[in-house]
């Protein structure tokens, strides 16, 4: 399947002469063919106008039709098979098994949202019948459902070229909600993006969707993304990337004449707590498993365990010895882009130069495109004196904070910023201290795990991949799991509308979906 480098604007391929950009092979830095078009202002206008034109049609399609569209995208992505995996490997440097799994996750997410549409629970349909003879005033008939917000802009993420990119979780949940999507592709994997956009384009044609339901446009700098976020027809933004990028887009969106929400997933260090009895009983196994999680995918997960906290003890020394050995033996791994590698090396160098931080281990040396794992320690007292080292270093670097007392550990927790995850390693004898920590962790993070590692996010109904700022923009939502659809919906109440005007899901009779009628849940 030959790549063209074209933009995809509402099912039309658009080629732009003038300076384009090329992907580079992550492992060698060699440029990859072809050159990709950079979107112009006219392209932004065309994609947004097409999305706006598609919105009333797409958002009013029966839920079944949208479900069939999502399933068609999933089928088309599966059908790309190795062509997709191989291009994604070249562009991202991520290994074959990881990308094969990510391809399956991507089509699986689309199918999960098709199921969600058929279930109809996300509509939160409520009916409160009128009581015309209520005293002292009649009660009106009120009916509520969630409706889609309008066109959504999605920024593809560099670290998940499939599952958080063109047809990733943000796109799947926005399309499921009934919102047309304009993707701003990530310049690190434009070929992968083109292949996936082609799959969506075929699904649009197969299922008869309005053309403007999907566009993919590229731009190597910030201009195209900024123009999209500023555009009046855009009603929400999905983003996964750096804290700087995410907060810049939040500011831009908030300063529009009509502000819009930015669902940005940014930085998280995912604290892991080693409670005393668990540490005592399995220090070595924990040390080894920690580094397995830390070095997975060269540490380029926002769920990476970047901070470990424990009380001083001989068992902690055993844990550290096992972790040190595992880091020292860890092979260097290709990182996603030269920029991400440089930022990682600068972060490690910053930690290495910081007073109070000790580098206890470094991974094996590798080629120029590879990052080396790094393990640091510091005392709880030093951390409390300067908590700035809790800022994310994106890659396989982690900091172990050795606390003298439980009070010191609790103080460290109180200084942490919002997180995607918090993990407890505990045995039965740790229950009391875990119960003390739990309310703090609920305030801190979106997902709390016991006896596991935060990397590897299960895509299910009960998942939360979100958390207080800066892990995400504000923590009231998730970007993984079916609840992600909520980000692109808003409630509308219909008061005393004639039945002929009511949406089918809110009419009397059996609508086949869960509803709350006069205060009672049905189905
Ligand atoms: N915590 C996490 O999940 C992740 C964190 N990162 C962090 O981001 C760094 C750079 O990686 P990237 O993936 O390139 O992230 P990035 O935030 O630099 O870029 C992501 C996307 O946002 C756009 N963008 C960024 N700033 C913008 C602005 N001010 N205006 C308009 N558009 C803007 C970029 O063009 C790109 O399409 C990494 O070194 C790492 O620190 C990256 C990926 C995931
Ligand atoms: O592991 C996952 O599924 C999600 C991780 C993620 O969102 C990220 O690294 O950006």
Q: Report which DSSP code applies to 496.
A: S
Q: Judge contact between 99 and 85, C-beta under 8 A.
A: yes
* Strand duo 214-217 + 7-9: pairing: antiparallel
Phi and psi dihedrals of 450, rounded to 5?
A: -120, 135
Does residue 15 carry a pLDDT above 90?
yes
Distance 123 CA to ligand 1 centre (A): 32
DSSP states along 262-315: EEEE------EEE-HHHHHHHHHHHHHHHHHHHHGGGG--TT---EEEEE-SHH
Rounded Cα distance between 186 and 158, Å, is 6
pLDDT tier at 452, thresholds 50, 70, 90:
very high
Q: Following DSSP, what letter does each residue of 231-248 receive, concatenated?
A: -TT--EEEEES-HHHHHH
Its CATH architecture, for the domain 272-450, is: 3-Layer(aba) Sandwich (3.40)
Counting from 1 in the atom list of ligand 1, the atom nearest the Cα of 188 is 14
pLDDT digits (tens, 9 = 90+) for 374-387: 999 999 999 999 99
pLDDT at 220: 78
Cα(474)–Cα(501) distance, integer angstroms: 36
Instruction: Determine what percent of the chain is predicted with pLDDT higher than 70.
Output: 100
Residue 348: which residues within 8 A CB-CB, separation 6 or more?
Answer: 374, 393, 395, 397
* Cα–ligand 2 centroid distance for 493 (angstroms): 36
Residue 137 tokens, joined: 């005033």
- The DSSP 8-state label assigned to residue 429 in this structure reads G
Residue 157 Cα, ligand 1 centroid: separation in angstroms?
7
| 265 counts as catalytic | yes
Note the pLDDT of residue 49: 98
Q: Tell me the pLDDT band of 336, cut-offs 50, 70 and 90.
A: very high
**pLDDT score for 427:** 98
The DSSP annotation for 132-195 comes to TT-SSSPBPPEEEEEEE-S-EEEEPPSS-TTTTSTTSHHHHHHHHHT--EEEE--TT-HHHHHH
What average pLDDT does this structure show over 265-292? 98
Taking residues 178-184, what's their average pLDDT? Answer: 99
Q: What is the pLDDT of residue 18?
A: 85
CA–CA gap between residue 187 and residue 214 (Å, rounded): 18
Note whether 185 and 166 are within 8 A (CB).
yes
Distance CA 87, CA 95 (A): 11
Please tell me the predicted confidence (pLDDT) of residue 467. Answer: 98
Q: Are strands 516-517 and 126-128 parallel, antiparallel or unpaired?
A: parallel
Give the number of the atom of ligand 1 that is nearest the alpha carbon of residue 344: 39
Question: Is the domain defined by 7-266+475-488 classed in CATH 3.40.605.10?
Answer: yes
CA-nearest residue, atom 2 of ligand 2: 457
As a whole number, mean pLDDT of residues 111-119 equals: 98
Nearest to 393 by CA among 270, 287, 234, 264: 270
Phi, psi at residue 490, to the nearest 5°?
A: -145, 155
Ligand 2 atom at minimal distance to the Cα of residue 304: 9
Q: What pLDDT shows up at residue 284?
A: 98
User: Which of 101, 112, 154, 302 has the most ligand 2 atoms within 8 A of CB, as the residue to mutate?
Assistant: 302
Rounded CA separation 216/181 (Å):
9
Report CA(105)–ligand 2 centroid distance (Å).
12
- pLDDT at position 23 is 97
- Which ligand has the minimum distance to the alpha carbon of residue 464? 2
Judge whether residue 303 has pLDDT over 80: yes
Helix or strand run (H / E) with residue 422 = strand 419-425
Give me the phi and psi of 245, to 5 degrees please: -65, -45
Distance CA 142, CA 129 (A): 6
Predicted confidence (pLDDT) at residue 411 exceeds the cutoff of 80 = yes
Question: Do residues 391 and 383 lie in contact, with contact meaning Cβ atoms separated by under 8 Å?
Answer: no
Q: Is the pLDDT at 373 greater than 90, yes or no?
A: yes
Q: Where are the domains of the chain?
A: 7-266+475-488, 272-450
Mean pLDDT of the chain: 97
User: What is the whole-number distance in angstroms between the Cα of residue 109 and the centre of ligand 2?
Assistant: 14
Ligand nearest to the CA of 246: 1
- Residue 389: DSSP 8-state: G
- Which residue in 179, 302, 370, 403 is the catalytic one? 302
CB atoms near residue 53 (< 10 Å): 18
Pocket of ligand 1 from Cβ distances under 6 Å: 155, 157-159, 184, 186, 222, 225-226, 240-242, 245, 248-249, 265-267, 302, 340, 343, 394
Q: Which atom of ligand 1 is nearest to the CA of 393?
A: 41
CB within 6 Å of ligand 2 — which residues?
157, 159-160, 164, 240, 265, 301-303, 455-457, 465
ipTM confidence score = 0.94
CA 332/CA 366 separation, integer angstroms: 5
Which of the 8 DSSP states describes residue 347?
H
Mutate which of 106, 154, 160 for ligand 2? The one with the most ligand atoms within 8 Å of its CB, which is 160
Q: How far is the CA of 486 from the centre of ligand 1 (A)?
A: 24
Which of 194, 265, 280, 408 is flagged as catalytic? 265
pLDDT at residue 344 greater than cutoff 80: yes
Mutate to test the pocket of ligand 1, among 26, 44, 241, 301 (most ligand atoms within 8 A of CB): 241
């Amino acid at each position: 399947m030959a790549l063209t480098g074209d933009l995809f604007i509402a099912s039309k391929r658009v080629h732009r002469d003038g300076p384009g950009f090329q992907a580079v092979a992550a492992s060698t830095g060699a440029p990859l063919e072809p050159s990709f078009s950079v979107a112009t202002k006219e392209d932004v206008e065309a994609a947004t106008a097409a999305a706006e034109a598609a919105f009333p049609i797409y958002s009013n399609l029966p839920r079944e039709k949208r479900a069939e569209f999502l399933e068609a995208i999933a089928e088309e992505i599966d059908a790309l098979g190795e062509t997709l995996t191989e291009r994604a490997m070249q562009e991202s440097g991520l290994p074959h098994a990881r990308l094969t799994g990510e391809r399956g996750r991507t089509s699986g997410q689309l199918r999960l949202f098709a199921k969600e549409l058929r279930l109809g629970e996300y509509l939160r349909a409520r009916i409160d019948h009128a009581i015309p003879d209520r005293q002292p005033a009649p009660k009106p008939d009120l009916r509520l459902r969630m409706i889609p917000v309008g066109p959504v802009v999605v920024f593809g993420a560099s670290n998940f070229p499939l599952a958080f990119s063109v047809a990733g979780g943000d796109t799947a949940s926005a399309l499921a909600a009934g919102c047309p999507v304009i993707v701003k592709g990530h310049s690190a994997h434009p070929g992968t993006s083109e292949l996936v956009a082609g799959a969506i384009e075929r699904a649009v044609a197969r299922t008869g969707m309005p053309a403007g339901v999907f566009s993919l446009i590229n731009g190597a700098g910030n201009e195209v993304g900024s123009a999209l976020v500023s555009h009046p027809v855009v009603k929400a933004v999905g983003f996964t990337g750096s804290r700087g990028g995410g907060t810049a887009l939040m500011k831009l969106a908030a300063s529009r004449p009509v502000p819009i929400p930015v669902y940005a997933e940014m930085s998280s260090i995912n604290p892991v707590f080693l409670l005393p009895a668990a540490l005592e009983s399995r220090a070595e196994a924990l040390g080894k498993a920690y580094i397995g999680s830390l070095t997975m995918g060269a540490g380029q997960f926002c769920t990476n365990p970047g901070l470990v906290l424990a009380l001083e003890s001989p068992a902690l020394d055993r844990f550290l010895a096992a972790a040190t050995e595992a880091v020292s033996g860890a092979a260097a791994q290709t990182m996603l882009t030269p920029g991400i590698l440089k930022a990682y090396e600068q972060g490690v160098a910053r930690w290495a130069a910081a007073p109070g931080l000790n580098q206890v281990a470094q991974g094996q040396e590798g080629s120029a495109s590879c990052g080396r794992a790094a393990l640091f320690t510091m005392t709880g007292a030093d951390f409390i004196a300067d908590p700035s080292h809790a800022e994310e270093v994106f890659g396989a670097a982690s900091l172990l904070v050795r606390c003298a007392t439980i009070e010191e550990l609790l103080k460290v927790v109180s200084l942490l910023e919002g997180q995607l995850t918090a993990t407890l390693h505990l045995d039965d004898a740790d229950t009391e201290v875990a119960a003390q920590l739990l309310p703090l962790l609920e305030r801190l993070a979106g997902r709390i795990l016991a006896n596991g590692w935060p990397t590897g996010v299960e895509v299910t109904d009960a998942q939360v991949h979100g958390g207080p700022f800066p892990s995400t923009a504000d923590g009231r939502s998730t970007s993984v799991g079916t609840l992600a659809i909520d980000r692109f919906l808003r409630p509308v109440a219909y008061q005393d509308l004639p039945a002929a005007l009511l949406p089918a899901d809110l009419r009397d009779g059996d609508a086949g979906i869960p509803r709350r009628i006069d205060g009672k849940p049905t189905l």
